[in-house]
Amino acid sequence: MSLTVVKGLQSEIFVPVTPKSVWAPVTKPMNEWVVGLATAAGVHLKSQERFNLAGDFTWRKIPNDTPEDQLMVSHGGYDNSDVNKDINCMFPITRIHELAKDGVIKGAAPFHAGFMGGGGNIEKFTNETGPAVAAMFKEEGVDAVIVTAG
């Protein structure tokens, strides 16, 4: 059987391309990790500027010792009702403190990151927001990051 080959033929079906993989190796045992949190759920301090619900590529630096009742969510892209009841649904800060207390990890990062996912200026996210958050975690000496999004 011979195949019919047409040069330059493309599928009519949109086939998105998955980006090349990125990979950072683990270098220490878990009980020596300082763990950071990055959430796309629109978490920030009540005293900080709210996110623009129509699309916002900025991010907020969240101190590790922030009490739960000083945190809030502004995000127009998902049902906020669970996270409004308990911030740990998307930003499990208290659970990270418990894991540190139990010796599962060494500790929590001094600062975490909140931003508003779900679209917006992807170019800015890729070229500015992402690298800025990564640089903060790098500077803090963070060993692992839990991201909540998607």
Partner 1 sequence: MQRAIESVGIPTVIVAALPPVVRQAGTPRAVAPLVPMGANAGAPHDVEMQYNVCKDALQFIAECETPGKIEPLPYEYHAVI
Strands 111-115 and 34-39: parallel
Shortest distance in whole angstroms from residue 54 CB to partner 1: 19
Closest Cα partner for 75 from 133, 36, 118? 118
* Residue 38 binds partner 1 (CB under 8 A): yes
**Judged by CB, which is closer to partner 1: 4, or 21?**
21
- Can you tell me which of 8, 29, 67, 103 binds partner 1, judged by CB under 8 A? 29
* Cβ burial, residue 58 (10 Å; 0-12/13-18/19+): middle
What whole-number distance in Å separates Cα of residue 58 and Cα of residue 116? 8
Where residue 124 falls (left for φ over 0; alpha for ψ -120 to 50; beta otherwise) is alpha
- Can you tell me which of 58, 89, 110, 124 binds partner 1, judged by CB under 8 A? 89
**Judged by CB, which is closer to partner 1: 5, or 23?**
23
Residues that bind partner 1 (CB under 8 A): 16, 18-26, 29-30, 33, 35-36, 38, 40-41, 78-83, 85-86, 88-92, 95-96, 98-99, 104-105, 113, 115, 117, 125-126, 129-131, 133-135, 137-138, 142-150
